[in-house]
Structures are given as structure tokens and as C-alpha cells.
């Protein structure tokens, strides 16, 4: 199951571990992504808090935590090659994995149809 925030972050949940990244809409809006700053492993964030930064040739934008939790893993491939966010924002360009404080809170986020309607 994939869910979305109004800050244009997607999140999936598998076995109590969430994976998050920016949406294709965010990537389209930002344009060519040239740099990604990710949080530290072990850092804790509340839902909605800025947990990273993505920079394009146009602008820089915060990446907001979709759910409260602790960062477990970073996508080093994305840090080394930010262009992955341009070519595969919903796949290879995931930003981080985290343990959500309340995994069931994912249900409060938008489903794909709702998010698609929001971004039209």
C-alpha cells in the first residue's frame, strides 16, 4: 500500500518499517534534481517535520516526515546520484526508511486516487 502527504511525500509500510520519498508530482514541479540531503540514522522526527532537503536547478525544498518515527536507513545511492529522483521517484529514489511510532497512522494519509485528484 502506498500513501501520500500533502507535502508530496509518498510512504509505504512493510513489516512495521516505512519507506519514504518524494512523489513524481514533486519531482516534476522541482525539475532537475541536483542534490539531496538526508537525515542521520537514529534521528527522530515528528510527522510533518523537515527531515531532509532536495535541491533542483530551480529551488530547494524540504522533505517532510510523513509519520512520526526514527530513521533506520538512508538511500546512499540517491545521495551519490541525485538524478535517480528524476528518473524513478517512486522506486530507486526512495529517501529513507524509518520505524513509525504508530504504523496504523499511515491510514490517515491520502490514497493514490485522492492524491492524484489533489495534484491535477
Domain boundaries, the chain: 2-118
Of 32, 92, 91, 30, residue with least CA distance to 63 = 30
32-82 tens-digit pLDDT:
999 999 999 999 999 999 999 999 998 999 999 999 999 999 999 999 999
For residue 55 the three cell numbers come to 535541491
Mean pLDDT of 95-120: 97
Helical segments of the chain, H only? 24-30, 76-80, 84-87, 112-118
CATH of domain 2-118: 2.40.50.100
69-80 tens-digit pLDDT:
999 999 999 999
State residue 72's pLDDT score. Answer: 98
Amino acid at each position: 500500500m502506498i500513501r501520500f502527504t500533502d507535502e508530496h511525500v509518498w510512504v509505504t509500510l512493510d513489516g512495521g518499517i516505512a519507506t519514504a520519498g518524494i512523489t513524481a508530482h514533486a519531482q516534476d514541479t522541482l525539475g532537475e534534481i541536483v542534490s539531496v540531503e538526508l537525515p542521520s540514522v537514529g534521528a527522530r522526527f515528528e510527522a510533518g517535520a523537515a527531515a531532509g532537503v532536495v535541491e533542483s536547478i530551480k529551488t530547494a525544498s524540504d522533505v517532510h516526515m510523513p509519520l512520526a518515527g526514527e530513521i533506520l536507513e538512508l538511500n546512499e545511492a540517491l545521495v551519490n546520484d541525485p538524478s535517480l529522483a528524476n528518473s524513478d521517484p517512486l522506486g530507486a529514489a526512495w529517501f529513507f526508511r524509518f520505524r513509525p511510532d504508530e504504523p496504523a497512522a499511515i491510514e490517515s494519509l491520502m490514497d493514490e486516487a485522492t492524491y492524484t485528484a489533489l495534484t491535477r
